[in-house]
Structure 1
Amino acid sequence: MRIFKFGGASVKDADGVRNVVNVLKTAGHENTLLVVSAMGKTTNAMEVVVKNYFENKNALAESIEVIVDYHNGILGDLFSTDQHPVYAQFNTLIEELTGFLAWNKSPKYSFVYDQVVSYGELISTTILSAYFNEVGLKNKWLDVRNFIKTDDKYRDAHVDWDTTQQKISEGVDRKSLNITQGFLGSDENNFTTTLGREGSDYTAAIFAYCLNADSVTIWKDVPGVLNADPRYFENPELLHQISYREAIELAFYGASVIHPKTLQPLQRKEIPLFVKSFINPDADGTVVSKGKGIVPDVPCFIMKKELVLIKLSSLDFSFIVEDNISEIFKLLADSRMKVDLIQNSAISFSVCVDNKFNQLDTLLKSLKSKFKVTHYEDVSLYTIRHFNEKAITSLQNGKDILLEQRTKETVQLVVK
C-alpha cells in the first residue's frame, strides 16, 4: 500500500482538485490512501474564526461566511448542479461548526481551536471524495478521528500508538482508494485534537507505519526537497537523495518541506519518503531513505522568522550551573516555548525560542525575578548544514548578528 499526502496548495481551487485526479491517473491510485490538508489558506481563515469567537463576536458570522463563500466557489466550479449531494454534506459541516460555537462553554483557547480548525480538513476531503466519485475514481472517505487516537494536549497532541495501530489495522481497506484528513486526531472523549501546524505529513507517516506501507509521497508545488527555500534564497538546488538521519537534522532545524515528527516512524520501518511535484508528477523528485547523507553534497540553508532571542545572566555574577539551567528549562516548558537554539557560558545563558503560544510576557516576568534579562523580538535564525565560508559570508553581509554558534557540520546565526 502507498500513502499520498496533498497539502493545501495542491487543492486551493477547482483546477487544483482536477490536477490531483491527473496526478492519481499518472502515478496510480490502487491500494492507496490519500491524506489531504485544508484547501488553500483555509486553516488561516479558521484561525480568524477562533480569534473572533474569543475577541470579537460581532465579526464571527462574517468570518465564517468568508469560508463558506470560498468553498462554495470551488463547489460551483467542480459540480454541474447545486443539487449534488456534496452541497448538503458541506452545509452539514458548516452547521456543526456554528453549532459548536453556539453551545461551547469551554474557555480554553486550544480546545476551541482544535474543534474549529479541524473543519478545514473535513470539508476539503468531503469535496475531494465527492468529485473523485463523480469522475469515476471510486473511493472511501475516512474520518481520521476514528483512527488516530491521542492525548488531550490540544494543538500539539501526542499519538497513542497502540490504540491507533489497532484501529488502523482493523478499519482501513487496503485494496481501496481511501481519502482521509491530515493534521487531526481525537482524544479518549472523542474531542478533536490536532498534531501541530503542518501535521498532515505526520498523519501520512502514522498511517504508513501502521499499515506497513511501501512508501509515502508528499506532493508539493516544488520539484522536491531543495537546499534552500526559494522564497528567501536565490538559485536553490534540488536534493536527489537524503538519508533519514540528515532529513531529521534538517527538519529539526526548521526545514519546511518535511514535518519534524514525520521521519521517525518511517525510519523505524525503513519506509521511503518521496517528495515530488504535483505540477510535474513524472519527475523523480527527492527520496528520503537509507543511504548517503545528501546528494548532491551542497550547503543547505534554513531560515526561521519571527523568533525571540532571550539572553540571561546571573544577578550577582555567579555561575549559571545545572540548577539554574534546569529552572530555566522548566519555565520554558511551562510557557510552551519551542527552543530552537541554546548557548551558555559561565555567567550567561542565551536561548532562541518560538513564541507560538503567545506566552512571552509571562515567561519574561518569571525570568526577571531570578536573572538579568535582555530580549530581542522578531529575530531570524539562519541555519546552514554542511557549511563553507562562502555560504556563511553570503548570509552575514548587511545583517546585525546577535549570536553565532558552530558545530562540525552546522552553523547558526541569529540576526535582527
Structure 2
Amino acid sequence: MRVFKFGGASVKDADGVKNVLAVLEKTGASSLVVVISAMGKTTNAIEKIVEAYLSEADDLNALISDLKKYHSQILEALFENKQHPIFKKIEVLFLDMKTTLDRNKSTRYNYIYDQIVGYGELISTTIVSEYLNHSGYENDWLDARDFIKTDNVYRDAEVNWDETQRIILEKVNKSKLSITQGFIGSDEDNFTTTLGREGSDYTAGIFAYCLNANSVSIWKDVPGILNADPRVFDKTQLLSHISYEEAIELAFYGASVIHPKTIQPLQRKEIPLYVKSFLNPENEGTSVKKGQPLDPHLPCYIVKRNQILLSLSSLDFSFIVEDSISHVFSLLHQYHIKVDLIQNSAISFSVCLDDKFGHFEELLKKLKAKFRVTYNTNVSLFTVRHFTDDAIMSLEKGKEILLKQITRETYQMVSR
C-alpha cells in the first residue's frame, strides 16, 4: 500500500492532470491512495469569495463565475465529449457551494471558511478521478470528510485518530486505486473542517498511518527538499537524505516543502517519506527516514514573512518569572497565535509570532492590562539549521536586525 500526494501546482491545468496520469503509468496505480489539492491558486480564489460574501461585496457572483470558468477550461481540454457526465458533476458542485453560502446563518469567519474552501479539493479530485477513469485507470473517489474525523476547531482541526483509523481501515479498498482530497475532514456533526493551510501533506500522512502504508510520496515542482526556498535564495542544493527529526525541525521553523504535522504519524510507524519532482518522476528526490544523517551536510535556510515581534516588560520593573510567562502562553493558546521564537531576560520577554487567524489586536488588549508592550509588525524571521559563520554573515548583510538567537544547531534572526 502506497500513498501519493499531488499539490495544486501539479494539477493547475489540463497538462498537469495529464501528467498525473503519466506519473501513475511509470509508478503503477494499484494499492494506491492519491491525495490531491485544489487546482492552482483555487484556494486563494475561494478565500476571496468568502471575504466577498462576508463583506457583502458586489463582485461575489463574478468571483464565483471566474473560478467556474477556470475549471471549465481545464475540463474542455481534458474531455472532447461535452456530454461527458463530468461537466454536470462540476456544475452541481458549484451550485452546492452557492447554495451553502445562501443558506448560511453564521457570521463566524472560521466556520464559513471551512464550509466553502474545501470545494476546491472536491472539484479537483472529481476532475482527476473522472479523467483517470476515462483513460482506463478505474478508481474509487473518496470524500475525505467521510474518513477523516476531527474536532470542531475550524481552520485548524485536530484529528480523532481512533475514529479516523477505524473508518479508513473499514472502507478503503487496499488493492485498488483511490482518489481523495487533501486538507479537509469533518466534525462529529458532519460539518466540514480543515487541517490548516497546506494541510494536504498531512492528509497523506493520516491515510498512510491508518493504512500501515509502505511509503508516502509527495510530488512537487522542485527536485525534492532543498536547503533553501529557491524563490527567496539564489543558490540552493538538493538534500538527498534527511531524518524524521531533521524534517520535523525544518517544518517547525517554517520550511514550506512539508506540512509541519505530516512527519509525526509517519515517524510513529517508520513509514518512509519521499519528496519528488512530478516533472521528473524517475529522479530519486529526497528520502526521509529514521536515523539517516543529513546528506549533504550544509546550512539549511528558512524564512517566514509577515511575523510580529512582541516584547513585554512588567509595569513595575519586577522580574518576568514563571507565572508571568505562563499567563502569556495561556493567552497565546487562547487566541491561536503560534510562537516561532522566544527570548527573555530578567525584566523582559520577547516572542516572534505568527498570527494566521488575525487575533493579535484582541491579544494586545489583554496584555496591556498587565505588561508594558512594544511590538513590530511585518517582520521576517530567518532560521539557519547547521549554520556556519559564512552563512550568518551572508544572511545578516544589509539587514536591520531586531533580535537574534543562537543555539547549538540553529541560528535565528528577526529583521525588517
Q: TM-score, normalised by structure 1?
A: 0.99
The Cα shift of 1:57 comes to 3.6
Tell me the alpha carbon deviations over residues 283-338 of structure 1, each in whole angstroms, 9 at most, x when there is no partner. 00000001223111001000000100011111111100111111111121122111
Separation (CA, whole Å) in 2 of partners of 1:360 and 1:112 = 21
Separation (CA, whole Å) in 2 of partners of 1:82 and 1:97 = 23
Unaligned runs of 5+ in 2: none
Partner-residue secondary structure (3-state), 2:97: helix
Number of the residue aligned with 2:147: 147
Give the AA of the match of 1:386.
H
Give the AA of the match of 2:124.
S
Separation (CA, whole Å) in 1 of partners of 2:335 and 2:140 = 41
Separation (CA, whole Å) in 2 of partners of 1:237 and 1:278 = 18
Are 1:32 and 2:32 matched, yes or no? yes
RMSD value, Cα: 0.7
Partner-residue secondary structure (3-state), 1:294: coil
Number of the residue aligned with 1:68: 68
Partner-residue secondary structure (3-state), 1:246: helix
Number of the residue aligned with 2:54: 54
Runs of 4+ in 1 over 2 A off after TM superposition: none
Partner-residue secondary structure (3-state), 2:190: coil
Separation (CA, whole Å) in 2 of partners of 1:372 and 1:223 = 48
User: Is the 1:385–1:409 contact (alpha carbons within 8 Å) kept by the matching residues of 2?
Assistant: yes
Number of the residue aligned with 1:299: 299
Number of the residue aligned with 1:279: 279
Tell me the alpha carbon deviations over residues 344-399 of structure 1, each in whole angstroms, 9 at most, x when there is no partner. 11000001101111111111122112111111010000000000100001100000
The Cα shift of 1:139 comes to 0.8
Separation (CA, whole Å) in 1 of partners of 2:76 and 2:182 = 24
Number of the residue aligned with 1:320: 320
User: Is the 1:320–1:348 contact (alpha carbons within 8 Å) kept by the matching residues of 2?
Assistant: yes
Give the AA of the match of 1:165.
Q
% identity of equivalent residues = 61
Number of the residue aligned with 2:359: 359
After superposition, where does 1:16-415 map in structure 2 within 5 Å?
Answer: 16-415=16-415
Separation (CA, whole Å) in 2 of partners of 1:292 and 1:209 = 21
Tell me the alpha carbon deviations over residues 105-157 of structure 1, each in whole angstroms, 9 at most, x when there is no partner. 11111111001000000000000001111111111100011100001011000
Separation (CA, whole Å) in 1 of partners of 2:398 and 2:66 = 41
User: Is the 1:245–1:293 contact (alpha carbons within 8 Å) kept by the matching residues of 2?
Assistant: no
Partner-residue secondary structure (3-state), 1:325: helix
The Cα shift of 1:22 comes to 0.6
The Cα shift of 1:204 comes to 0.3
Partner-residue secondary structure (3-state), 1:411: strand
Number of matched pairs: 416
Separation (CA, whole Å) in 2 of partners of 1:315 and 1:329 = 18
Separation (CA, whole Å) in 2 of partners of 1:406 and 1:18 = 47
Partner-residue secondary structure (3-state), 1:157: coil
Separation (CA, whole Å) in 2 of partners of 1:56 and 1:63 = 13
Partner-residue secondary structure (3-state), 1:276: strand
Deviates further, 402-411 or 51-60: 51-60
The Cα shift of 1:29 comes to 1.1
Separation (CA, whole Å) in 2 of partners of 1:153 and 1:366 = 22
Tell me the alpha carbon deviations over residues 201-255 of structure 1, each in whole angstroms, 9 at most, x when there is no partner. 0000000000000000000000000000001111101000000111111111111
Separation (CA, whole Å) in 1 of partners of 2:211 and 2:337 = 34
Separation (CA, whole Å) in 2 of partners of 1:184 and 1:382 = 30
Give the AA of the match of 2:4.
F
Separation (CA, whole Å) in 1 of partners of 2:292 and 2:176 = 35
Separation (CA, whole Å) in 2 of partners of 1:339 and 1:56 = 34
Separation (CA, whole Å) in 1 of partners of 2:272 and 2:376 = 40
Separation (CA, whole Å) in 2 of partners of 1:343 and 1:81 = 62
Partner-residue secondary structure (3-state), 1:151: coil
Unaligned runs of 5+ in 1: none
Separation (CA, whole Å) in 1 of partners of 2:286 and 2:43 = 27
Deviates further, 119-128 or 100-109: 100-109
Give the AA of the match of 2:11.
V
Partner-residue secondary structure (3-state), 2:219: strand
The Cα shift of 1:58 comes to 1.9
The Cα shift of 1:56 comes to 2.9
Partner-residue secondary structure (3-state), 1:247: helix
Separation (CA, whole Å) in 2 of partners of 1:205 and 1:334 = 27
Separation (CA, whole Å) in 2 of partners of 1:400 and 1:225 = 29
Give the AA of the match of 1:40.
G
The Cα shift of 1:275 comes to 0.2
Separation (CA, whole Å) in 2 of partners of 1:396 and 1:272 = 36
Q: TM-score, normalised by structure 2?
A: 0.99
Separation (CA, whole Å) in 1 of partners of 2:400 and 2:235 = 24
Separation (CA, whole Å) in 1 of partners of 2:210 and 2:91 = 33
